[in-house]
Amino acid sequence: MRHPAPPAATGAYEDDLALLVTGRPRPGRWIAVLAAAFAAVWLAWTVIVNPNLHWDIVAKYQFDGVILEGLWVTVQLTLISQVVGIVIGVVVAVMQLSDSPVLRTTAGAYTWFFRGTPLLVQLIFWFNLALLFPEISIGIPFDGPKLVSWQSNTLITGFVAALLGLSINEGAYMSEIVRAGIQSVDPGQREAGASLGMSNLRILTRVVLPQAMRVIIPPFGNQFISMLKTTSLVSVIAGADLMTVSQHLYLANFEVIALLIVASIWYLVLTTIASIAQHAVERRFNPAAAPPPLYRRVLGNLRPGRGPKKPAAAKQAARQPEKSVEKSTKSAKSAKGETR
Amino acid sequence: MSTTLSKPPTDEVILSARGVRKRFGELEVLCGIDLEVRAGEVLCVIGPSGSGKSTLLRCFNHLEKIDAGRIEVNGELVGYEPYGSAGRLRERRPRDIRHQRERIGMVFQRFHLFPHRTALQNVMEGPTVVKRRPRGEVESRARELLDRVGLADRADHYPAQLSGGQQQRVAIARALAMDPTLMLFDEPTSALDPELVGEVLGVMRDLARSGMTMVVVTHEMGFAREVADRVVFMDRGAVVEAGSPADVFTAPRHDRTRAFLSTVL
C-alpha cells in the first residue's frame, strides 16, 4: 500500500511479455484457407463460364429504370414498415409490462395473432380487405351516421396493403425484442428515477429505454436485414417492389435466372449497407461488446497464437494509468494519516 | 468529532411513522412500527438482515406500499390520503406521490446511478427533468454538490469509470440536488470494498453536521455510534429498542439487542 508500483511499469511489462511469448504456428488454418479458396474459385468458375447464364442480360438490366424504381419501392417499404414496426413494438412492449391486465391481455393477443399467422396470409388478407369491408368509414359505430367513407378498393392499393401487412407483423416481433430489452435493465434504475420524482413515462424514455438499446440493437439489426428481403413477399399482391418488377420482366422475356441475379445483387447491396450500419450503431451503444471489424477478425484468426484484439481490453488498458495515479495519491494520503 | 458538533435537533417532526404494517404474502415483514425523526436529527436503524429495516425505509418514500398504519413526512401522509370515514386511507394520485418523493432523497445500497449519463448529468437529471429548472443554474449547483462530495474533477466521468465509493458519493450528490428535507440511506456502504467505505461515511458525516435530517439503515456500528442522534434496533419486523447511541451500544436493555451487538461489534 505504501509503495505503489510506478504507473509507467505496467506498459513496459506488457511489452516484455510480447517479446517473450510467441504463439504456435497454425498450419491447419492455412490448409483450410487454401482448400476453401480452391472450392470458391471452382464454384465461381462453373457459374461464370456457364453459357446458360446470360451475363449480358444481367448487365443490361442491373441499372434498368424499371428495376431501379422497384428498388426504390423496396427501400421505402422497408424503412416505413420498420419505423412503424418500432413504434408499435415499443407501445406493445410497454403494454405487456404494464400493471393493467387489460393492456397486458390486449398486447398478448396482438403478438399471439400476428406472430402466429404467416406474413404471406396477412399480406393477401390486407390486399383483399374489400371482400370483408367494401367500405371504410369514420362515424358512429353499429351502423350509425358516417362522417367520411372510402371505397376499400381505392384506399387499399398494393403499396398500402404491403405497408399494413409488413408493419403490423413487424410490430409483433419488435414488441418481443423491446420487451426483452426493457426487462434487461436493472429494476433499481426505475426506483432511482422514481425516488427523484420522475413519472413512469420519463423513467421509460430517459432511464430505461436508453439502457435497453444495448440489448435491443443487435436483434433489431437482424430484423431490419430480414425486412429488406421479406419485402419480396409483396410480389404476390402487386407491391411493385424490386422482386415484383423483376418477375414482370422475366415473365415477358423468360430471362428468369438473369433477372433473379439482378435482384439478388441489389438485395446483397442493401443488406451489406445495412450490416455496416448495424455494426457502427452497435459500437456506438456498446463499444465493448460489438464485434471487431471483419479484416481484424480475419487477420486475428490467421496470425499465430493470438485471437483478435478486443476493443474492450484496449479501452481498459487506456484507463489503467489514470486509475493507478488515483490509487497512488490515495495511498499517499493514508500514509500521511498514519504518520500523523 | 461527536454529536455535540451537529446542529441541535429542533422540535419540528420531519418524519413520523405510526403502526406501520407490511406483509409480503404470508410473511409479515413490518409488524407495527412507530418512529419519529425531528428536523436535523440523524436516526440510524440497525439490526440483522431480514429484520425489515430496508423495507421500512422504502415505505418512507412509497417505493413500497404499506398495509396499515400511517407515515407522515413534513406533516403530510406519504403515498396515501384520507378516504371515506373511520380513518380509512387510499393511495394518492401518481402525480402527488411524485411531488412527495421530490422532497425525500434516497441513496441505494447499489448506487443505481444512470450508467448512460456522466456524474454531472446524473446530478442534473432530477432538477432539470423533474423540476424543469434552467440548465445553467442547475449545472452550477450540480458542480457545487460534486465539489462538496469531493468529486469536482470527476464531473465528466461515466459511472463505469468511477470506483464504488465515488459512485456512491455521486449518488448522494444526485439526491441532494433535489433539495430534500429528508435523506434516506439504504445500507449505503454495504456494496463497497472495505477501503472505500470511509470516503462515503465521511461525506455522510459532513452532511449530518450541516443539519440534514437523515435516516440511515446501516451495518456500520462505528458510524452509528459516532454520528447518530438516536439508534433504533429492529428485529423480525419490530422495533426492539431505541435510544441514544450510548444507551443502545453500551447498555442495551434487551437480550436480542445484546445478542446482535455481540456478533457485530
Residue type at position B105: G
pLDDT at A186: 95
> How far, CA to CA in Å, does B7 sit from each of A116, B75, B224?
67, 21, 17
CA distance B44 to chain A (A): 20
Model confidence at A325: pLDDT above 70: no
User: Does A202 lie at the interface with B, CB-CB under 8 angstroms?
Assistant: yes
User: Mean pLDDT across chain A, nearest whole number?
Assistant: 83
For position A304, what pLDDT does the model report?
Answer: 65
What does the pLDDT look like over A177-233, one tens digit per residue? 999 999 999 999 999 999 999 999 999 999 999 999 989 998 999 999 999 999 999
Q: What is the pLDDT of residues A271-324, one digit of tens each?
A: 999 999 988 888 887 766 666 677 777 777 666 655 444 444 444 444 444 434
The reply to whether A192 touches chain B by the CB within 8 Å rule is yes
B11 to A179, B19, B36, B232, B242: CA distances (angstroms):
49, 21, 11, 19, 18
Band of the pLDDT at A150, cuts 50, 70, 90?
Answer: confident
Across residues A238-256, what is the average pLDDT? 92
What are the φ/ψ torsions at residue B123 (nearest 5 degrees)?
-70, -30
Q: Where are the beta strands (DSSP E) in A143-261?
A: 146-151
Which residue in this structure is represented by grid cell 419486523?
Answer: B237
A86 pLDDT more than 80: yes
pLDDT at A295: 74
H/E run at residue A95: helix A65-96
- Interface list for A 305-324 with B (CB within 8 A): 319
Compute the distance between CA of residue B58 and CA of residue A195 in angstroms, rounded to an integer: 10
- Nearest C-alpha neighbor of B142 from the set B191, B96, B177, B194: B177
pLDDT in tens, A25-65: 888 988 999 999 999 999 999 888 888 888 889 999 999 99
Distance from CA of A224 to the nearest CA of B (A): 25
Cα→Cα distances B159→A2, B106, B119, B169, Å: 27, 18, 7, 11
Residue B36 DSSP SS3:
strand
Cα separations in angstroms, A168 against A88, A115, A173, A176, B117? 8, 10, 9, 13, 34
Residues of chain B in contact with residue A207, where contact means CB-CB under 8 angstroms, are: 114
- Which chain B residues contact residue A195 at CB under 8 A? 61, 63, 101, 104-106, 175
| Residues in A touching B178 (Cβ below 8 Å) | 196-197
**Helices and strands, counts by H and E, chain A:** 16, 2
Q: Count CB atoms within 10 A of the CB of residue B219.
A: 15
Using alpha carbons, list the distances in angstroms from residue B2 to A272, B166, B218, B241. Answer: 68, 25, 18, 22
Q: What is the largest CA-CA distance in chain B?
A: 56
Q: pLDDT (tens digit, 0 to 9) for every residue of chain B, 265 residues total? A: 444 444 555 678 999 999 999 999 999 999 999 999 999 999 999 999 889 999 999 999 999 999 999 999 999 999 999 888 877 889 999 999 999 999 999 999 999 999 999 999 999 999 999 999 999 999 999 999 999 999 999 999 999 999 999 999 999 999 999 999 999 999 999 999 999 999 999 999 999 999 999 999 999 999 999 999 999 999 999 999 999 999 999 999 999 999 999 988 7
- Say how far residue B9 (Cα) sits from the centre of its chain: 17
Grid coordinates representing A11 are 506498459
Q: What region, left, alpha or beta, does residue B86 occupy, with left being phi > 0 and alpha being psi -120 to 50 degrees?
A: left
Grid cell locating A18? 510480447
CB pairs under 8 A between A and B: 58
Question: Could B129 and A206 be called an inter-chain contact, meaning their C-beta atoms sit closer than 8 Å?
Answer: yes
Q: What string of DSSP letters covers A147-163?
A: EEEEEHHHH--HHHHHH
Of B81, B75, B80, B7, the closest CA to residue B40 belongs to B7
Which of the four pLDDT bands, split at 50, 70 and 90, describes residue A139?
confident
Task: Find the residue in A nearest to B161 (Cα).
Answer: A319
Length of chain B: 265
d(CA B35, CA B230): 11
Q: What is the CA radius of gyration of chain A?
A: 29
Cβ contacts of B23 within 8 Å, gap of 6 or more: B29, B30, B67
Report which residue type is found at A293: P
Element (H, E) at B33: strand B27-38
Q: Percent of chain A, pLDDT > 90?
A: 57
Cell numbers found for residue A292: 471487431
